[in-house]
Amino acid sequence: MRRLAFIALTLACASPAFAQDHAHDAPPAADAADPVGTDQPAGSASAPSMAHNRAADRYYDPVAMARAEAAMMREGGGPYGAAVLDLAEYRLNRGRDSYEWEGEGWVGDLNRFVLRSRGEGEVGQKLDHGEVEAAYSRALTPWWNVQAGVRQDFGQGPARTHAMVALEGLAPYRFDVLAQAYLSDRGEVSARLEVSADQRITRKLVLQPRGEVLLAAQDLPGQRLGAGLSSAEAGLRLRYEFTRKFAPYVGVNWEWLPGRSGDLARLRGDSANSRGLVLGLHGWF
């Protein structure tokens, strides 16, 4: 858009045009040097200002028009929503089989209300650790959202409540990232980072490398984790998309409990590292 220097000048430029009878002018005798019709460059007359009224109100009931306009403005504004099951899996692990889930539901559009849940436990035992998070998600860029909310723990350990802030989105090279920081009602500070990427092998087969680390500023007895780098996970899952919404998978998953977490595990008589085959279901609706 051209910036205008002088209104007066532009008015002077524009007025001959208004004076002309528009349409049906005989075209000027064209010589090769003179562009005609659409070949002519555009002038720099000023734009008119907006009128704040509806032309149709002169013909129809303004109340009905206002209602129709409001309805049109609402169209396509959502809200939308979906329920997504990222992981729901059974882990085969030398006689100590376990299960894990992670999923979320959202409603809204650009900005959303998000309900997220995750948890894990050993087969045949009480639920080890579960979480439910409720958060408001606000779009930051085309790919990133910032989230704030609360998390409630349940399961074997103490039922902590946490305040949560998170950054969620799609990084360059199409990595899905979820970075969360927590402050519990006991003043415990912790953070979690999850990264995954979907690599399409064929139209139906998708290989998903996935990694997750937990960090804590102090021991987290509720989750049997120690301070520092509390735990790390890496997995490789191969899913078959019967449809995009229904995709069973098989994979391998490694878990490490380094440092203090490892010490705590050994005190319990558990191993600090584990590797297992996983079978699960990914989907959404």
Using CB under 8 A, which residues numbered 172 to 201 contact another protein?
A: 172-174, 199-201
Coil, helix or strand at residue 47: coil
Question: Using the rule CB under 8 A, is 78 a contact of another protein?
Answer: yes
Q: Are 104 and 117 in contact (CB under 8 A)?
A: yes
Single residue of 6, 19, 126, 267 touching another protein by CB under 8 A = 6
Helix (H) or strand (E) holding 263: helix 259-267
Alpha carbons 230 and 218: distance in angstroms, whole number:
9
In the complex, least distance from residue 108 CB atom to another protein, rounded to whole angstroms: 10
Question: Using the rule CB under 8 A, is 246 a contact of another protein?
Answer: no
Alpha carbons 109 and 106: distance in angstroms, whole number:
9
Helix (H) or strand (E) holding 105: strand 98-108
Per DSSP bridges, beta strands 199-200 and 189-197 are unpaired
Single residue of 12, 125, 127, 143 touching another protein by CB under 8 A = 143
Q: Are 256 and 276 in contact (CB under 8 A)?
A: no
Task: Determine the interface stretch with another protein among 21-29, 113-121, 152-160, 229-237 (rule: CB under 8 A).
Answer: 21-29
In the complex, least distance from residue 139 CB atom to another protein, rounded to whole angstroms: 4
Question: Using the rule CB under 8 A, is 33 a contact of another protein?
Answer: no
Task: Determine the interface stretch with another protein among 70-78, 115-123, 186-194, 232-240 (rule: CB under 8 A).
Answer: 70-78
Question: Using the rule CB under 8 A, is 109 a contact of another protein?
Answer: yes
Single residue of 32, 33, 75, 126 touching another protein by CB under 8 A = 75
| Dihedral of alpha carbons 77, 78, 79, 83, sign | negative
Task: Determine the interface stretch with another protein among 72-80, 95-103, 118-126, 223-231 (rule: CB under 8 A).
Answer: 72-80
- Paired tokens of 161: 């409540």
**CA R_g for the chain:** 30
Q: Please say which residue, 126 or 243, places its beta carbon nearer to another protein.
A: 243
Question: Using the rule CB under 8 A, is 148 a contact of another protein?
Answer: no
